[in-house]
Chains A and B, each alone.
Chain A
């Protein structure tokens, strides 16, 4: 695989622009390119290694690449984030390239997405790092000049809120012996309580005045030559970052500021200093940590002498602090001298000497949204962290985390600038520190996505009931709270039918279910189906910004919830249709593409008739997907919704046979949508194909699903299942067949797939379900011939082992036979599910229709075929793809049909 989204490439191409911007000197630039090239080479090697061996083998990588586990971990995380690996750490599936491209162009280039998602912590590291100065700090966050941006991705990589490899949480302390670890405080050497001995500092500083004292000591002892801190700004309570180079300036920086401050935004200016102390909140320290891992610390961040962290549970935008003071205290920033949090209450000390307080709970709503997504109270990525909570009045709690932190603190002690006490771990104050830290960590971890309950594997293999059981209202409430309501929601662009997902989730969160349903149905009339069978993990959920913080929002589950809720309450909500246009449109095929197209046309006021070959609508949904994945009642109900929109269903109508397109034209149809799917089973070319016991997955599934053979003899259609069933193929169809066979009573079911696990096109979720149910997988194995007995009944299958060779046109590596590795497997039923082709039954009846060499219909991007008024979409255009892709194509074509008719028939009228 090629590293397509290369930071090095983007930087190199824009070298002139970067040098002109003036942040980087040429030598510095060259050094950065050199360092990044090494990193990108490293990334490439990791991908190659995964491609070669199929999975991530950490120990092999370590020995091959001669590096540390931490670097491998971080690189893997980076590769996942940038879409080279999927969330399972595996190579993305071949047909997801479209989504990959989407991700490539919208998520990676810059941190706009972080801001739009309300995740920005305002640290300013992106502002400082941007090599072309496209990012400017503004009102607690930043602006990006997209014209100037060169899409190098540096800002996104350095952002503490994009992705954060777990490996970076490890201790940096050289002396592991004396390091303690606790869940809520991470790694530290010592926690103590301390206060300054300098009365001048006590007067202005918060609590124990430790930070100011440490800086004073460090200046005096020449341990630092500069300190990056915060000072009062022009307006009261709206602090500014300040870089001081002299001890004398220190006093004006003391005291806690509750408003966040982008202290890293001008870091590049301090390169002349060799020993800088940085004082900041946990998010700022997290940013520095990230900068230190990827070679972004060059050339600006090499000069940090000490990182002093401030305990922080949340900060406020200046505008919000104003609101807070006004709403809760009827005060203004100008009146306030100092603020403090103590014993669960928020205090303000006014200039007139009055002290007011309210419970902390009341101030939460003024906090920055992004702070809600922070797990760190005690600034774990520092040398030393300081805060008031945990100690008595006038004292500070100090976490000494590293050797350097210990050294600084000891020096201050030795110079009698600080006095310390043992921390009282039993004190109420310390306990509450511990509790809040734990709470913050936990509430962050509780951002885990909701897990849908499932039928137990042992039970479900004996029935055809649905496997996942859906969400309840409580689960929906929790899950919807996780949604960030991004301003630029990637999920919408990740959805083939562009459902307005954030608005939908917001309505769910407010328990406005009817409104949520309308919002959903405005873009997707078939949520019950899509909520179940869409591969959300490679569509809306793959691009969800929450991936960076852990797990994406369970959009599919929520979609299913609202559809189930509708059915449970026996509602049939449909959006308002446009006034009838009295123009007839024919939709051929009642599969996903046809249903979506018909729905969209009906909403636009067309008189739509769907012609379906089978006696029931749904297409692959009804004949292909088993009951336990998609209950057939649901399809029926969704089709009833269409009928409510006056869509007419004509079953048993094979267009091309009973009626031709010409007949339909004579009947007054003005436009046609062909969505007949890819219903032609591909059989393997091996001897023994016509033995009894060998059948296509299409036949097997149609018998069981459409014809309900699983209820034989109550239903007349039989299906025969042996004891040992082998299914050939690695897609959803193969998995559906295998799981159906198991439920029909097969003793053993195994899947034979010629590539490896990583290339399997089946949905991951279904693969895991199959594993849980006891389906066995024989990867890199391909049938050579089927062997039968004297009655032409299959008894065995000869297979050959395969290995992966060069990539083919699909981007997947071509399986190659390992000669001489043949062996024989006993089996009495062989189901072939290796794919489908274009069924020519309709296309043959329209000889002028332009097809490609595989028999699929050629269309433009709107679904227009070479014939006037005839549109097509879904598998008959693309070949086998997903349900929602077909629905997207149906919807697109409906718009094109509308446009065609508006122009041709309505303007004339």
Chain B
């Protein structure tokens, strides 16, 4: 049952983003674009959700892209090929609805949100859709999977905050231009909450631009991932409650109350800091012991 890490490589060059391939034959068999897994690295670990970025049914593997943000992601990225993850649960969440649309689909990935865009673009393109991909990153070093995305896109646009690659600016800039020029059937946006919020604001028909159906992928804090606890819940603009884990993770971007969700995402900041500090201390101590040859 243990889930072995078969491959691991760093993406970009900041030492904070990694791609990992896990052996999970049963999950790989059932995985689809939109699904996520929950992992618990070791006995004391927490359960963290990670979107399935790719899968290989034959090899029985799934691919994850992880950015170090807190203790658990750091611990995960510190694992090596051959190491085993204690628990992997999935595939969870709803898979995306794949069909042929009349007009092109814009797939927008921001930061490591680009990775989960890949299976969506792939499956939708295989269904005969035209895919226009917009990849956004803070800078060139944090831009991932550009080449891989090219293989599933008819058109690919890159934006960076500092202009170190592609267009200087944010992903909504090229999105607006595309929407002004062409009729779009669907927008898919995966990335930081702020990015998804502005994509949704761009496509909700409130401005000059036409309204376009928009899916965003919510990577909220979760515990069980099966709808049992409501930790991942988000409020709709109408004040209803939905669960990212079972109603999503891909949901209609126009109904999400992003402002509330942004605040909810920060609710364990203090504990996350403590946890990371403890881990760093532990790592340093181990390092020290190694140096001393113990």
Contact = CB atoms under 8 A, between A and B. Distances in A.
A68 interface: no
Interface in A509-565: none
A792 interface: yes
A444 interface: no
A137 interface: no
A689 B241 CA distance: 8
Contact of A720 (B91, B246, B268): B268
Nearest to A790: B263
Interface stretch (A167-175, A258-266, A567-575, A649-657): A649-657
A696 B1 contact: no
A810 interface: no
A839 B230 CA distance: 12
B91 A658 contact: yes
B235 A717 contact: no
A707 B223 contact: yes
A658 B90 contact: yes
A716 B226 contact: no
Contacts of A703: 223
A690 B234 contact: yes
A841 interface: yes
Given A699-B231, A707-B47, A712-B271, A652 B223 contact: no
Interface string B222-251: 011011111101110001010000100000
A695 B230 contact: yes
A679 B228 contact: yes
A388 B257 CA distance: 90
Nearest to B235: A690
Contact of A714 (B44, B229, B231, B266): B44
Interface string A400-421: 0000000000000000000000
B46 interface: yes
Contacts of B230: 681, 683, 695-696, 698-699
B267 A692 contact: yes
Contacts of B44: 708, 714-716
A701 to B, nearest CB: 9
Given A690-B264, A713-B275, A717-B47, A702 B26 contact: no
A613 interface: yes
A614 B224 contact: yes
Nearest to B275: A713
A906 interface: no
Contact of B86 (A615, A658, A713, A715): A615
Contacts of A690: 233-235, 241, 257, 260, 264
B89 A652 contact: yes
Contacts of B278: 713
Contact of A702 (B71, B91, B223, B257): B223
A89 B40 CA distance: 49
A652 B47 contact: no
B272 interface: yes
B91 A657 contact: yes
B1 A652 contact: yes
A821 interface: no
B21 interface: no
A687 interface: yes
B9 interface: no
B264 A683 contact: no
A718 B271 contact: yes
B257 A657 contact: no
Given A652-B1, A720-B267, A792-B263, A657 B90 contact: yes
B92 interface: yes
A465 B135 CA distance: 52
Nearest to B72: A716
Contacts of B233: 683, 689-690
Secondary structure of the B contact surface, majority rule: mixed
B161 interface: no
Bin chain B's interface residue count.
35 or more
B45 to A, nearest CB: 5
Given A695-B230, A707-B223, A791-B263, A689 B235 contact: yes
Given A692-B263, A714-B44, A702 B275 contact: no
B30 interface: yes
Interface string A338-379: 000000000000000000000000000000000000000000
A840 B257 CA distance: 25
Nearest to A707: B46
Given A658-B26, A707-B47, A696 B88 contact: no
A793 B269 CA distance: 13
A771 interface: no
B248 to A, nearest CB: 14
A784 to B, nearest CB: 15
A572 to B, nearest CB: 23
A698 B88 CA distance: 21
A651 B87 contact: yes
Interface string B53-94: 000000000000000000110000000000000111111100
Which of B1, B239, B271 has most A Cβ within 10 Å? B271
B47 A613 contact: no
Contacts of B71: 716
Which of A702, A703, A717 has most B Cβ within 10 Å? A717
A411 to B, nearest CB: 82
Interface in B30-53: 30, 40, 44-47
Contacts of A651: 1, 87
B228 A654 contact: no
B27 A615 contact: no
A846 interface: no
Contacts of B235: 689-690
Contact of B223 (A687, A693, A699, A840): A699
B241 A720 contact: no
A659 interface: yes
Nearest to B257: A690
A613 B224 contact: yes
A680 interface: yes
B274 interface: yes
Nearest to B274: A713
Interface in A714-741: 714-718, 720
B261 to A, nearest CB: 8
A481 to B, nearest CB: 46
Contacts of B46: 707, 715-718
B226 to A, nearest CB: 5
Interface in A396-445: none
Nearest to B30: A658
Contacts of B1: 650-652
Q: Sort A-B residue pairs by CB-CB distance and give the 3 closest, nearest first.
A: A718-B271, A699-B229, A690-B235
18 contacts: A651-B1, A652-B1, A652-B88, A654-B226, A657-B92, A658-B26, A683-B241, A690-B260, A692-B266, A707-B46, A707-B223, A714-B44, A716-B44, A716-B45, A716-B72, A717-B46, A793-B263, A839-B228
Given A652-B88, A658-B89, A690-B235, 11 more contacts: A623-B224, A657-B90, A681-B229, A690-B233, A708-B44, A714-B44, A715-B46, A716-B44, A716-B71, A792-B260, A840-B227
Interface of A: 613-615, 623, 650-652, 654, 657-659, 679-681, 683, 687, 689-690, 692-693, 695-696, 698-699, 702-703, 707-708, 712-718, 720, 791-793, 839-841
